[in-house]
Amino acid sequence: MDDPLPAMALVAYALVFGALALVEQPGINRSRRWPTNLALTLGFVAISAVQPIGVLLAAEWAEASGFGLLRALPLPQPVVWLIGWAVMSLSSYWLHVALHRVGFLWRIHRVHHTDSAVDVSTAHRFHPLEAVVVIGWLGATAALAGVPPGVVLVFFALEALANLCSHAAVRLPPGVERVVRRVLITPDLHRVHHAPTLPLTDRNFGTTLVWWDRLFGTLVLPSGPGPVGLDRTDPADAHRLGRLLILPFR
C-alpha cells in the first residue's frame, strides 16, 4: 500500500494556506500579484517535494555509511534529534544570509523580494534555481553532521508551516505579538525583512526561530507597517512570470 503521509501533509498544508488567506488583512492587491505567485506555486509544489527528498537522500546515505559527526558521539537518541534539528535550523539561517550576501545567490533570491506586497502567496515566490542551492547546502549539512533522516522530515515540515505563517498578512494582538516573538518569527518581524532598502532587507533572516537573529545581531523589531518590495525593481519585472524566471541572468 502506498504511504498516505505525503498526501496527508499536502492536504494539511493546503488547508493552512487557505485558512491564512481567508483571515488576511483586506486591501492587498491580489488580482495583479496572485497569478504570478500561484504560477510559481506550481513549481514550488514540485520543489517542496524535491528539496526534502534531496536532503533526505543525503541523510539516508550518511546513515547507511555510518557517516557524520553525531554518529561518532555517544549521545542518547533524543539528544541526537534535538541537536540535529538545531543544526538544520542554524544551517538554514546561514543559507538565508548567504542568499542575501553572495552575488549570484542574491540574484536568484531577489525574485522572492520583488513582490510588491507580502501575503501568504509570497511564501511560494521563489526561483526554481533556489531549490538546487537548498538541496546542496542542507544536504551537505545533514550528511556531515549525521542528522537522522527523521529529523530532516520534521525540520522541513516545521519550516514549511512557519514560512506560510510568517508571510501571512495578519497582525497579532500587541500582547500576543510581544510574547510570541521572543521565540518565533512573527509576520510583523518578517515584514521588516521585506523592506525596500538596506539595512532592513538584511535583517530578521530566521524562518521559525528568532534565536539565531538574536545571537548573531541581525534582529530588528518592527516599528510599524512600512513599504515592502525592492525599490530598484522595474514594476514590469515584479509580476511577469517570464521576467522573474530570467531575472537572475539579467
Instruction: Classify residue 7: in a domain, yes or no.
Output: no
For residues 10-45, one letter each, b for 16 or more C-beta atoms within 10 angstroms of the residue's C-beta and e for the rest, the string is eeebeebbeebbeebeeebeeeebbebbeebbebbe
Provide the residue range defining the domain that includes 208: 29-249
* Beta carbons within 10 angstroms of residue 249's beta carbon: 9
What pLDDT score was predicted for residue 1?
A: 42
Q: What's the pLDDT tens digit per position in 59-75?
A: 999 999 999 999 999 99
Amino acid at 172: L
Instruction: Classify residue 68: in a domain, yes or no.
Output: yes
Cβ–Cβ < 8 Å for 153, 56: yes
Instruction: Classify residue 65: in a domain, yes or no.
Output: yes
Which of residues 12 and 160 earns the better pLDDT score? 160
Confidence of residue 99 (pLDDT cuts 50, 70, 90): very high
Instruction: Classify residue 122: in a domain, yes or no.
Output: yes
Instruction: Classify residue 209: in a domain, yes or no.
Output: yes
What pLDDT score was predicted for residue 210?
A: 96
What pLDDT score was predicted for residue 26?
A: 63
Q: What's the pLDDT tens digit per position in 167-176?
A: 998 989 999 9
Confidence of residue 209 (pLDDT cuts 50, 70, 90): very high
User: What is the tally of structural domains in the chain?
Assistant: 1
Instruction: Classify residue 14: in a domain, yes or no.
Output: no
- Does residue 6 have a pLDDT over 70? no
pTM for this prediction: 0.87
How high does pLDDT run on average in the chain? 86
